[in-house]
Amino acid sequence: MTLQNRKIIILGGTSGIGLAVAKAAAAEGARIVVASSNPARVADALATLGGSASGQSLDLTDEEAMKAFFEETGAFDHLVYTAGEALQLAPLDGTDLATARRFFELRYWGAFSAAKHAHRLIRPGGSIVFTSGVAGMRPGPGWSVAASICSAMEAMTRALALELAPLRVNIVSPGVVKSPLWRDMTTEARDALYEAEARRLPVGHVAEPQDIASAYVYLMNQTYATGQTLVVEGGGLLV
């Protein structure tokens, strides 16, 4: 299978894993459309992708804006959702509920809304690929919000794989990745996190975004997988 001439919409495709997916799909000949809330990142992504890539800024928490976006976009082949705010870990007693709800608005409800307004436009043989994380399978202290979102995303994936069949719906669950989602940490804390993970992981290193991007490409090309969570975490769940 190949993504040659396939039209792929990547929401959150302007940095980190999303941009890496855009690059990997473009390398297979796909036509890329990216969207995120930051106009400057959209412009930078399009400059990086070049070719026939297109994109726009879009508030992924605004359902009416999402609906209008897909109405304007028209038919396409694959939807990838990688959008997420910078990760913030907090103990239960220190968790602000309004902040926690905002995380759900973008990561869960944004993905839900995208599927709601996009699925009828996806051509036969196409798919949706969401994003979760291994926190849903192995959370640590301070991960209650992140773990809840990851688990909810994976449950939604399985439900939509049945409801939207024969459209395929899958999800990628990465471990720790060197991505902008950690940008709110200090450099020292972020480096310490990466070093500790590298020592712990059987593969001996923390993933770069391109290491994870190939999982999304696989799920778009793999025509016999649906309702699946593809875990790419360097063996972290084993140790």
Handedness of CA 178, 183, 187, 193 (dihedral sign): negative
**If we measure between CA atoms, which residue out of 81, 106, 19, 108 comes closest to residue 219?**
81
Structural tokens at position 39: 């106009």
Check: CB of residue 103 under 8 Å from CB of residue 85: yes
Element (H, E) at 28: none
**If we measure between CA atoms, which residue out of 158, 87, 84 comes closest to residue 128?**
158
| CA max distance for the chain | 50
Q: Which of 36, 132, 173, 179 is catalytic?
A: 132
Q: Would you give the distance in Å from CA 115 to the centre of its chain?
A: 13
**If we measure between CA atoms, which residue out of 153, 165, 150 comes closest to residue 224?**
165
Q: 82 burial class (0-12, 13-18, 19+ CB within 10 angstroms)?
A: buried
| Rounded-to-integer distance, Cα 72 and Cα 168, Å | 23
132 belongs to the catalytic site? yes
| Rounded-to-integer distance, Cα 204 and Cα 238, Å | 13
Amino acid of residue 38: N
Residues annotated catalytic, as ranges: 132
